[in-house]
Chain A
Amino acid sequence: MEKTLKLIQSLSSTAEKVEAMDFTVAVAKDDLRKVAEKLKAEGWDYLINLTAVDNQENIEVVYHLSKSSDMEKLLVLKTKTEDMQNPIVETVCDLWESAGLYEREAYDFFGIRFLNNPDMRRLFLRPDWVGYPFRKDYDNTPNEKFSTSVHDVASMENVPSITLNHHGEIEEKNVNLFDNDEYIVNFGPQHPSTHGVLHLRISLDGENVKKIDPHFGYIHRGIEKMMESMTYPQMLFLTERLDYLCGSINRHALCMCVEKAMNIEVPKRAVYIRTIFDELNRIASHLLGWACMCNDMGSITSFIYGFRDREKIMDIFQETCGGRLMVNYYVIGGVAQDLHPNTVNRIKEFIPYLREMIKEYHTLFTGNPIARDRMTNCGFLSKEKAVALGMSGPNGRASGWHCDVRKVAPYAAYGEVNFDEVLHKGGDTIDRYMIRLEEIEQSLRIIEQLIDKLPDGDFKAKVPAIVKVPAGEYYQRVENARGDFGVYIKSTGEKSPYRIKFRSPSMVAVSGLDPICKGTKVADLIMIGGSLDYVIPCIDR
């Protein structure tokens, strides 16, 4: 890492290392582009996250970088602009494709415009929204004059961008995304298989997909903004509302981030319980993902089968936690209560049961010639593209990208168990399909190893009554069922965070729809959407 610092300093004399938990380097705004290009060339090809922070006298942009070949490495790159009225930062979206959406998000919430980013539309809010809500000086009193009329479609397709002309002046441009004579179909926001309130505008040529333009924000709840005025224990409850299908894992990320920042030692029993519940949650999520994908392909029976077995996991959760979907089980320092006396036995019964059922799934659906024909050689995603889009998780592993956070940067009890990271080489829909079923088996393996070794002792560490995270910046990654989920906290030492940002693996998955689906049929689009297994509430935080 020191080498990287030297490298950055050789390009930018003002670059300096910032004292933080992760390796952080601050560079001047004008040097950012040079540094980014060099870093990309040096193998930092995976942009995990891009966050903007309003520091009141300046606006900061934080880039979390990693290497696809060595995911353990984490480099935080920071830059800032003092111009609060018209902040402009150069784009990096041509280097890391995933930056495109992140920069739109930063523009939407902070008003930072990114020079040379071809698409500077708002990402979540309506085009006629006034102000940038994540700015600290944003006036969030209810505005009665705010119109509730439906904004017209034309404004959704009008793409503004800014570039520098040859005089070095900023030039604003507006282009239309679609031609006038294109046949455009709205998929969503209400549609049976968008897996939530996703709105895709699709340009069709007969049955063939020409272009996809995703629109988010229909169920945006401003969770990150709300959390800025909440205490840490309160915040936990909202994390499960992000990716509700693997809520516990998201909650785990925030718990670990706070624990790491406050140096809280979590009792071993709690760590084991959390790992087991994470894996159960992953199984539940993969089962549902599998079921929904089968339903998208028209096999309703498989859908019900998936739900039937997921129900058993929900029952296990219910017994211990009271909740089923939102289990509200993890707290800072451990878990909320000890396991129910039945739980261990129930889990032990469940493992062989599910193994049998997975065989049934393979007979019912995987072995079906229609299903196989549809999934093979369809929806190809290369490893390079997956890395560029930041599509980690099962989708990335289906393309051969070794990106399991549980393996590359083990947390909780993952370092102590034997399990394989399921890797496929193909990158086709069938690989993404198979990988979920195979990961369920690996998760069962993990649970099997932990459930017998469950140590006695406390299930919760002593935590101060008022949780105050020391000033600083923290980032914690976990592997949730959809990939690399991250929590970024900037704290000023108060009892609520100054800025919190979640890295959503679903958002990058949706951004992959356009490159993957180009040229496929409408039916394939639905199937590929199912195979990417995105969850919209995680995007619309």
Chain B
Amino acid sequence: MDFELVNLISWIDESLRDLCGDASWAVSLIEYVLIAIAFLGLYCVLALILILLERKICADFQCRIGPNRVGPWGLCQPIADMFKILLKEIITLKNNDKFLFFTAPFLILAGSLGTFGALQFGKGLVGVDFNVGIFYMLAISSLGVIGILLAGWSSDNKYTLIGAMRSGAQLISYEISAGISILTMVLLGGSLNLTDLIEGQKDSWYLFQGHIPAIIAFIIYLIAGHAETNRGPFDLPEAESELCAGYHTEYSGITFGFFYLAEYLNMFIIAGIGTMVFLGGWQPFHINYEWASGFNELMDYIPSYCWFVGKVFMLVLLSLWVRWSFPRLRIDQLLHLEWKILMPISLVNMLLMAGWVAYIAAQNN
């Protein structure tokens, strides 16, 4: 028995080829559309799941029950919320730049979707696979900053402007640490291609292969990645007790919904990148010793997408835990943490990793 989804995909591919015969362009076209629909659908469904998960988990942290009226255990709550948000009026402001105001949510969504498309969900479940996959992800995820800055600027509101400026400072700073810690692992893996990186973790995840430098990089990535998602204790751009809702104060209806959607998915994406780079992506957990071969085989029975989603949700849970127990940082402390602590450590850590890689290479020779 093999539950891998890649079988289903190849079956669809083969049937389409049989159906279309010579017109291979038609096959490609249909497949592109199918993939796009699949990703968009997955994006929305994941957002709904994450929203419910967050509300339930935060309720548990806070000794509350959480949503429990709509559907069994409140399972339909996010769907009801979604319809509500779709039905709300989109309020337009009087004296603002309407074009930028309505472009900003799309930019944020585009950045988030673009990154989402490059995640590797399982064996063969890859939307985009190219030789600089990691680089692409780091690059396209930065699009969100522009969206946030535009949203804050074009809202013609002092609160949103403060929120946007905070956000700009924060996201740009923390991208450095997140990027360097990922590059540290790229040093170890020796490739920018995500497929290669994941393949390299077949026997043992990079977190274990890289020893101390990898663990340091992982911790730094978790902190910086968490900051990238704009969630507590790094939620300064929206800081509801200070800035009402920060950069998206003036948005309503589905335009606000886009910010909301992107925020939750960014949490998933950051956890996804962390999983791929540090925790072996969709690779099962293996113990690299002879005696554990039985255990390893057992692990192989669990389908690869389950591994990926499981690991990602573990990291998401961690991020929720942090969010609901920590107070917010102040802007100077936030920048202090990045520029004076995380960045120097991650730079030194990269050197350490280079030394470690050189040591392994020398051993192998």
Chain A interface residues toward B at CB < 8 A: 183, 185-186, 191-193, 204, 207, 294-302, 304-305, 308, 364-365, 368, 370-371, 373-374, 521-524, 526
Contact = CB atoms under 8 A, between A and B. Distances in A.
B62 A523 contact: no
Interface string B217-248: 00000000000000011011001111110000
A522 B241 contact: no
B106 interface: no
Nearest to B234: A298
B158 A298 contact: no
B211 interface: no
Classify chain B's interface size: 20 to 34
A297 B330 CA distance: 9
Interface in B10-44: none
Contacts of A301: 58, 61-62, 324-325
Contacts of A302: 327
B241 A304 contact: no
A370 B326 contact: yes
Give the interface centre of A204, A300, A302, A371 by most chain B CB atoms within 10 Å. Answer: A300
Interface string B317-341: 0000000111111111100000000
Interface of B: 58, 61-64, 158-159, 162, 166, 232-233, 235-236, 239-244, 324-333
A194 to B, nearest CB: 10
Given A192-B241, A193-B241, A298 B232 contact: yes
A521 B330 CA distance: 8
Contacts of B240: 192
Nearest to A526: B242
A182 to B, nearest CB: 12
Given A298-B232, A298-B233, A304-B63, A191 B325 contact: no
B241 A526 contact: yes
A191 B244 contact: yes
A193 B242 contact: yes
B242 A522 contact: yes
B239 to A, nearest CB: 7
A299 B61 CA distance: 12
A368 B242 contact: no
Given A305-B62, A522-B162, A374 B330 contact: yes
A235 B244 CA distance: 37
A370 B64 contact: no
Nearest to B241: A193
18 contacts: A186-B158, A192-B241, A207-B162, A297-B241, A298-B232, A298-B233, A298-B239, A298-B327, A299-B327, A300-B62, A301-B61, A301-B62, A301-B324, A364-B325, A370-B329, A521-B332, A523-B239, A523-B328
A368 B232 CA distance: 14
Given A192-B244, A298-B239, A299-B325, A185 B330 contact: no
Given A192-B240, A298-B232, A305-B63, 8 more contacts: A185-B162, A191-B244, A192-B241, A304-B62, A374-B333, A522-B243, A523-B236, A523-B330
A308 B331 CA distance: 31
Contacts of B331: 207, 521, 523
B60 to A, nearest CB: 11
A301 B240 CA distance: 14
Contacts of A304: 62-64
Give the interface centre of A186, A298, A365, A368 by most chain B CB atoms within 10 Å. Answer: A298
